[in-house]
Every structure is written in C-alpha cells, then in structure tokens.
Amino acid sequence: MTLASLATRTAVVTGAASGMGAATARALAAHGARVALLARRTERLDALAAEIAAAGGQALAVTTDITDQASVDAAAKTVHDAYGRVDLVVNNAGVMLPNPLADGRIDEWTRMVDTNLTGALRIVRAFTDDLTSAAAEGRTADLVNVSSIASHVVFPDYAVYGATKAALTQLSAALRSELGPRDVRVSAIEPGLTDTELGGHIDNPVLRDQLGGMFDAIPALGAEDIADLVAYTVSRPRHVNLRHLVVLPTRQA
C-alpha cells in the first residue's frame, strides 16, 4: 500500500494553525485526504484551507479550543455535517511552558495539562465512534498522538511538560489495548528537537536562550519531517500498526 491509499481518507488534525499540525494537514491533503483543520486561530486556519484548496486539495477550517468541551462538541458536529465520519485523527495540539517546579506556576501547569492531555482526551472522545465504525466497515482507521521525547528523557525545568507527554504516550498504549482489538490503529510519535512555534511560548529568558542554544548546536527537524512520518505511518496496510515512533535529528543523542 502506498501513500495513494490516503486519497480515500477523511482526517481531523488538531493544532493545525501552525507547525507540525499545519504541515501534517498539507501532507495528508496533498495525498488526497479530506482534512478538517482544528485550532484556535481562525485567520490562520482560513489561510491554510485556502492554500490547500488552491493546490487542489480539500480542507475545512474549524475554529476549536480543545480545552473547552463545548467547543470540541461544536467542532465535531461541524466536521460530521461537512464530511461525515472521519477515519483518521491526528492529536497534535500542544503547548510547552517550562519553568522550575519550585516557581509554582499553576497557570502554566493547568494550561499544559488541559491542552496536552485533557484536550487530547476530548478529541478521542469526540471521534472514537467514527474510528471504530470505519474499522468495522473494513476501512483503515487511525489515531495518531503526537507526544515528545520529553515523555522519557528528563530535561531540567520541563517536569510538567514531560509529565503531560508521558501521560499521552501511556494513554496511547492503553488505547491500543482497547481499540486495537477493534481494528483501530493507535500510534504515538515522539519528536526530538523540532523547529516549531513551541519555543516561542517560553516566558523564562534563561530557558528560552537555552533552547536557542540547542537549535544553534543541532540541526533540528522541521515540521515537514514530522508530517512526512505521520503520512507514512497512516498509509501502511491496515493490519500494520507502527505503534511507537521516536524521531530525532541525527546529531541529537
């Protein structure tokens, strides 16, 4: 099975306004999938949908805040009304806000947990019936959770971020035990150093400079590299589940 198999798919991509989400949406659409773009920034979604359409693809911009249940419910209805059931979900939305744990930044902790973990769970809840129905009909069904190497590699001052990503990787494993027997594939992808907007959210100048130093020292992955891996993963024959993938820049240990 080649990437041509994606031409029959209907996908939802969260965090689609920028970075890995936008690149993944472009990649899936380029191979023929219909793609629902979910994120908070309406103007960016509209621009991406127009870009995909201009290239001959199909995309639907759906303004969504995955930390708000009503917003997710409304988004699911919009997607279903436009495209029907989906068979491919990419949980990509995330936020990285490092600071020493002793700083007690409950605002940051809450935002990371609500986005990186609970937000992903809301999307799973919204579209699991679609995935299991697609699989029951003999079609390929995929749930891809974009985690991080921070799920298993310790970085000082990134404790809460790492904990949310570890939870997402563990959630993927647990969901595989529930959904795998129903022919729904679940994949966790853990990127290493990748050039996205995540670093721009850091308000600690020391940690921001530290991350900048890593980018200076190591040629990082690009968002397109992750998108390419997602597209490859979900285009395998339906009996093949690439369950856990770690992708690093070649120079990152």
CB atoms < 10 A from the CB of 127, how many? 24
Written as six digits, the tokens of 55 are 């290239």
Cβ 176 vs Cβ 145: under 8 Å = no
Residue showing tokens 């930044």: 105
Q: Give the side-chain half-sphere CA count within 13 A for 94.
A: 28
User: At residue 182, what is the residue type?
Assistant: R
Q: Is residue 161 among the annotated active site residues? A: yes
Residue 71's SS3 state is: helix
Question: Which CA distances in Å does 46 have to 28, 36, 52, 233?
Answer: 17, 11, 10, 27
The whole-angstrom separation of Cα 171 and Cα 165 is 10
Catalytic residue among 83, 158, 161, 232: 161
Please state the three-class secondary structure of 99-113 as a single string.
CCHHHCCHHHHHHHH
CB atoms < 10 A from the CB of 113, how many? 17
Q: What are the residue numbers of the active site? A: 161
